[in-house]
Amino acid sequence: MEKMRGIKAYLQQSGLLIFILIMVGVLALLSDRFLTPANLINILRQASINGIISVGMMLVILTAGIDLSVGAILALSVVVTADLMHRDLPPLLAATAGLSLGGLLGFVNGWLVSRIKVPPFIATLGMMSFARGLALAYTGGKPVTGLDAGFRFLGTGLVAHIPMPIIIAALVFLAGYLLLSQTRIGAYLYALGENREAALFSGIATGFYTKFVFTASGVLAALSGMILIARLDSAQPVIGLGYEFDAIAAVVIGGTSLAGGEGRLSGTLLGVLIIAMLNNALNLTNVSSFYEGIVKGMVIALALILHGLVRKL
Amino acid sequence: MAIGPCILRMEGITKRFPGVKALDEVRFDLCAGEIHALAGENGAGKSTLMKILSGEYQADGGTIHLKDNPVEIANPQTAQTLGIAIINQELALIPYLSVAENIFLGREPVKQVPRFVDWQKLNQDAAEYLQRLKLDFGPQTLVEDLSIAQQQMVEVAKALSLDAQILIMDEPTSALTEKESEILFDLMAELKARGIAVVYISHRMEEIQRLADRVTVFRDGRYVATSEIADITIEGIIQQMVGRKLQAHTPVTAIQATETALKLVDLTVHRHGIEALNLSLGKGEVLGIAGLVGAGRSELARSIFGVDPIDSGDIFVDGRKVRIQSPKDAIAAGIGLVPENRKEQGLLLKMAVGENITINILKRISRFLFLNKRKAMDIAQTYIEKLKVKTPGAMEKTINLSGGNQQKIVIAKWLTMHPQVMILDEPTRGIDIGAKNEIYALIRELAGSGMGILIISSELPEILRLCNRIAVMSQRKITAILSREDATQERIMTYATGG
């Protein structure tokens, strides 16, 4: 009996890993460039942008929320940061301002949800439109290009041959892992998502932690935006369009329940990798961009179905 | 009333859950026109068997015969077609729909052309059932606005409308007032007269003795015995349930509380209609709050605990004035609350037993933010043993435990932080006699250690048995405070009904 449960738990844990291995196999057959070291590094670098956002998204979803505004918050934060640098503000200050702005907008989301009791979907849908509009208005729709060389190290630099984006994403995942599995904040977040009322009756400051997760999501969206513009050397107001889709997909593929209270960060990591591999493969195999969305939607559905099947075992 | 022919026979029913064998080859039979009580401690398997009969669970083994024909009850719809209706411990109504819509959910009457819902007929039909139950709310009332007791009556109306031949009632009176229970009992007699077979699960022995024709007892997932009610005493049933004789309970010793643990001065909570309420609770004292459903007892508890913060007035804990705006403040001030609904408010059901027990003290067992998980599990284990919680371990999901054991976990949650004041709201609702006695003993022990204890209970014998003093509430006011010596069920009821 115990042994059966062990095997079942193992399969549930590794279902995604098996899916990834199958995917790697198929992609290696489809394109001989796929398994090259350069391409694998490339995948990881691309994954790091969505990965950082997904950690924040996971915190929100774990508390039974959702954050649709990450792409828009990212855009507003980066155009402000880029513009401040153009106005000769030191890069560090400009970046701090951008991150704070992301945090502030996230905090507003959390405040709307916890205090005004606006459903997360609506609150962040509004923020998505508001922040995107502000980014467009602020720049007049024009990109801000040519960034400080030191700042660009965030996106293009290497430390011990490892690209900076990968290092930063790894640190964010490590922090997320420690937060969720080793601290009491993590325990509170799971409790909050599992049963908000019981969490309240247990003396957990539910309002505070709701604001906390949305603020974290905003800051992380802004952070991943910094890395993105550092690589692109340009901050456009339309940057990060649709990023909420990839982040939510990664979290959900990773097995986090949209109802809250259930999920592991390792699952989210695997979800992020699946999405990145998929984006990469669509590029390598020259799938027409018209078909990209179709293939992506189908693969995500397939991953979820497999996940569901393994769960039912 | 003569009992009709046997209409249901369940034999060799076995059901396993991860880590537990909930039912082990049990049998059960039912005759037309009888009220058949099913008794047993929590975790004995009563509800599981009834969920199998009503199609919610599938048995792992055994047979079910309905009127001598073997049947497969694959899902609740099949059960409905077979004329089996169940009223669960957990109510299954949709809060934002009206009473009438809930009664006829999925079976709404439609007009000829076009085939839209015939609202007039829907409401008329529902009103008819409500009248038969002598209920004082209309068919268009939203279920959300009803008390738990009233919701239960809606469930009964729904079962009536289904024209069920077998009606299962799982703890129907645990949330009802005496008056409401009486209406339900009258109704059961009527159902019985019409030849409907009623399965009646209850922990209240007086009710079983009064209503039932036969009683079947389960213990630890096994069948013990079926007896004609005339052939067995209450003590006999209890003995079958626990498998041993219970000791007679010791009476409360009068205490002279000198210091106050909790003092409420001119407490006013507008949203609950509580105005200028005063009450004090001594250290080591057990103070009961009696009253009818709706008297404002739970609301008072919610206000003290900061769920619905007070608008004015003062709360003193151990002589110190405290400001309570949230449960977090209340806990910091040294107040614990075992809430009315343990599943919605007391527990994180999908989380582990150990996580639930330690959720209040995570701050104490972490260094900076980092949790000492081993310490948490050690503490959890201590309380699992101390309260004799029946669980495969501290890592087991709380949802897999029986009601009595879940309640012990809610209490353990508070014991870990040694509050000065503990408020228990219906602490033994839906809990079997064995676990009840353990919880009573625990309450005594806590009071003995100097904790002030406030107990809200609708069971007067419980209040009379446990409390040093009894405050009676009626219409959001305290109408009397009786000492243990002066209190009788009759006097309490007089004050509770505002007389």
Could you tell me the CATH number of the domain that includes residue A259?
A: 1.10.3470
pLDDT in tens, A195-216: 999 999 999 999 999 999 999 9
Give the angle subtended at the CA of A68 by the CAs of A64 and A72, to the nearest 5°.
145
Q: Do B369 and A197 touch (CB under 8 A)?
A: no
- In angstroms, the Cα distances linking A74 to A227, A278, B424 are 11, 23, 49
Give me the residue from B19, B330, B346 closest to A198, CB to CB.
B346
Mutate to test the interface with A, among B307, B328, B349, B374 (most CBs of A within 10 A): B328
Residues of A in contact with B359 (CB under 8 A): 187, 191, 202, 204
Closest by Cα among B303, B341, B307, B337 to B151: B341
- Region A157-162 average pLDDT: 92
- 3 state SS of B315: strand
Return the pLDDT at A1. Answer: 43
What predicted TM-score, i.e. pTM, was given to this entire model? Answer: 0.78
- In angstroms, the Cα distances linking B479 to A257, B88, B130, B473, B497 are 49, 35, 32, 6, 10
Return the pLDDT at A111. Answer: 98
Residue with tokens 């209309």: B138
Give me the residue from B331, B339, B355 closest to A203, CB to CB.
B331
pLDDT in tens, A171-183: 999 999 999 999 9
Residue pair A51/A269 in contact (Cβ under 8 Å)? The answer is: yes
Return the pLDDT at B486. Answer: 87
Residue pair B278/B333 in contact (Cβ under 8 Å)? The answer is: no
Whether omega for the bond prior to residue B172 falls within 30 degrees of 0, making it cis, is no
Contacts of B58 (CB under 8 A, 6+ apart): B52, B74
Distance from CA of B352 to the nearest CA of A (A): 11
Return the pLDDT at A312. Answer: 61
Residue B328 touches partner A, C-beta closer than 8 Å? yes
- 3 state SS of B275: strand
Q: What are chain B's domains?
A: 6-242 (3.40.50.300), 260-496 (3.40.50.300)
Residue pair B27/B192 in contact (Cβ under 8 Å)? The answer is: no
Overall residue count recorded for chain B in this entry: 499
Residue with tokens 């009450």: B279
State how far the Cα of B458 lies from the Cα of B427, in Å rounded to an integer: 10
Q: Do B369 and A185 touch (CB under 8 A)?
A: yes
Residues of B in contact with A177 (CB under 8 A): none
State how far the Cα of A257 lies from the Cα of B386, in Å rounded to an integer: 35
Distance from CA of A164 to the nearest CA of B (A): 28
- In angstroms, the Cα distances linking B267 to B58, B287, B312, B419, B452 are 52, 18, 6, 21, 19
**Buried (b) or exposed (e) across B315-344, using 16+ Cβ within 10 A?**
bbbbeeebebebbbbbbebbbbbbbbbbbe
The string of DSSP letters for B188-257 reads HHHHHHTT-EEEEE-S-HHHHHHH-SEEEEEETTEEEEEEEGGG--HHHHHHHHHSSPPPPPPPPPP---
Closest by Cα among B121, B180, B115 to B153: B180
Residue pair B101/B181 in contact (Cβ under 8 Å)? The answer is: no
Q: Do A182 and B362 touch (CB under 8 A)?
A: no
Return the pLDDT at A16. Answer: 78
Structural domains of chain A, count:
1
Residue pair A198/B347 in contact (Cβ under 8 Å)? The answer is: yes
- What's chain A's average pLDDT? 91
Burial tier of B491 (Cβ tally within 10 Å: 0-12, 13-18, 19+): middle
Residues of A in contact with B357 (CB under 8 A): none
State how far the Cα of A203 lies from the Cα of A190, in Å rounded to an integer: 14
State how far the Cα of B472 lies from the Cα of B481, in Å rounded to an integer: 6
Give the angle subtended at the CA of B132 by the CAs of B129 and B133, to the nearest 5°.
90
Contacts of B15 (CB under 8 A, 6+ apart): B21, B22, B23, B45, B48, B49, B52, B57, B59, B60
Return the pLDDT at B300. Answer: 95
Give percent above pLDDT 70 in chain A.
94
Residue B493 touches partner A, C-beta closer than 8 Å? no
pLDDT in tens, A249-290: 999 988 888 889 989 999 999 999 999 998 888 888 888 888
Residue pair A301/A96 in contact (Cβ under 8 Å)? The answer is: no
Residue pair A188/B375 in contact (Cβ under 8 Å)? The answer is: no
Residue pair B463/B286 in contact (Cβ under 8 Å)? The answer is: no
Q: Per-residue pLDDT tens, chain B, 499 aa: give them.
A: 456 788 999 999 999 876 667 899 999 999 999 999 998 876 688 888 999 999 989 999 999 999 989 999 999 889 988 989 888 766 778 999 999 999 998 888 888 888 889 999 999 999 998 888 777 889 999 998 887 778 878 888 888 888 888 999 988 776 677 777 887 888 888 888 888 899 999 877 888 889 999 999 998 889 999 999 999 988 888 788 877 554 445 555 555 557 899 999 999 999 888 999 999 999 999 999 998 777 889 999 999 999 999 999 999 999 999 999 999 999 999 999 999 888 889 999 999 999 999 999 998 889 888 999 999 999 999 999 998 898 889 999 999 888 888 999 999 999 998 899 999 999 988 777 788 888 999 999 999 999 999 999 877 888 888 999 999 998 889 999 999 888 887 788 788 876 5
DSSP state of A101: H
Residues of A in contact with B328 (CB under 8 A): 203-205
- 3 state SS of B47: helix
The whole-angstrom distance between residue B274's C-alpha and the CA centroid of its chain comes to: 25
Q: Do B327 and A195 touch (CB under 8 A)?
A: no
Residue B307 touches partner A, C-beta closer than 8 Å? yes
pLDDT band at residue A5 under the 50/70/90 scheme: low
Residue B367 touches partner A, C-beta closer than 8 Å? no
The whole-angstrom distance between residue B395's C-alpha and the CA centroid of its chain comes to: 25
The whole-angstrom distance between residue A204's C-alpha and the CA centroid of its chain comes to: 26
Residue B456 touches partner A, C-beta closer than 8 Å? no
- 3 state SS of B37: strand
Q: Do B328 and A194 touch (CB under 8 A)?
A: no
Return the pLDDT at B245. Answer: 52
Q: Do B327 and A200 touch (CB under 8 A)?
A: yes
Distance from CA of A117 to the nearest CA of B (A): 16
Residues of A in contact with B322 (CB under 8 A): none
Q: Which residues of A lie inside 8 Å of B (Cβ-Cβ)?
A: 1, 5, 178, 182-188, 190-191, 194-195, 197-205, 261-262
Residue pair B379/B365 in contact (Cβ under 8 Å)? The answer is: yes
Contacts of B318 (CB under 8 A, 6+ apart): B259, B260, B261, B283, B334, B420
Range of the domain at A58: 2-312
**Pairing of β A234-235 and β A144-145:** antiparallel
DSSP state of B97: S
State how far the Cα of B285 lies from the Cα of B421, in Å rounded to an integer: 10
Return the pLDDT at B461. Answer: 80
Closest by Cα among B210, B156, B213 to B184: B156
Return the pLDDT at B207. Answer: 86
Residue B58 gets the label, from left (phi > 0), alpha (psi -120 to 50) or beta, of beta
Residue B352 gets the label, from left (phi > 0), alpha (psi -120 to 50) or beta, of beta
Residues of B in contact with A184 (CB under 8 A): 362-363, 366, 369, 371
- In angstroms, the Cα distances linking B371 to A208, A305, B352, B411 are 19, 35, 16, 22
pLDDT in tens, A223-249: 999 999 999 999 999 999 999 999 999
Overall residue count recorded for chain A in this entry: 313
Token pair of B376 as six digits:
């948490």
